Amino acid sequence: MEKYVVEPLIFYSKMTTDKMHIIKSSKKEVQAKLNEYAEKGYKLVSTDSTNFGMALYIYLYFEKI
């Protein structure tokens, strides 16, 4: 039987001229979550994201068989 986990991550925007600042600053944290779940035997099966105000919400969906 499969086991599913959703891992939400929240990143906040700041005033800057660099439109890629969230991608640059969040890369390490997202990679750390991917590594953490991979070590537990999960695989990433889907992602989703949305924004609200100054925040970016990223959802990582993992599956373990």
Q: Please state, in angstroms and rounded to a whole number, the distance separating the CA atoms of residues 59 and 54.
A: 17
The stretch 25-53 carries a mean pLDDT of 94
Q: What percent of the chain has pLDDT over 90?
A: 66
**Runs of H (alpha helix) within the chain:** 21-39
Is 90 exceeded by the pLDDT of residue 50?
yes
Q: What percent of the chain has pLDDT over 70?
A: 98
Picking from 11, 52, 49, the residue whose alpha carbon sits closest to that of residue 61 is 49
pTM for the model stands at: 0.84
Q: Please state, in angstroms and rounded to a whole number, the distance separating the CA atoms of residues 7 and 64.
A: 14
Q: Please state, in angstroms and rounded to a whole number, the distance separating the CA atoms of residues 21 and 34.
A: 20
Query: Domains of the chain: which residue ranges?
Result: 3-64
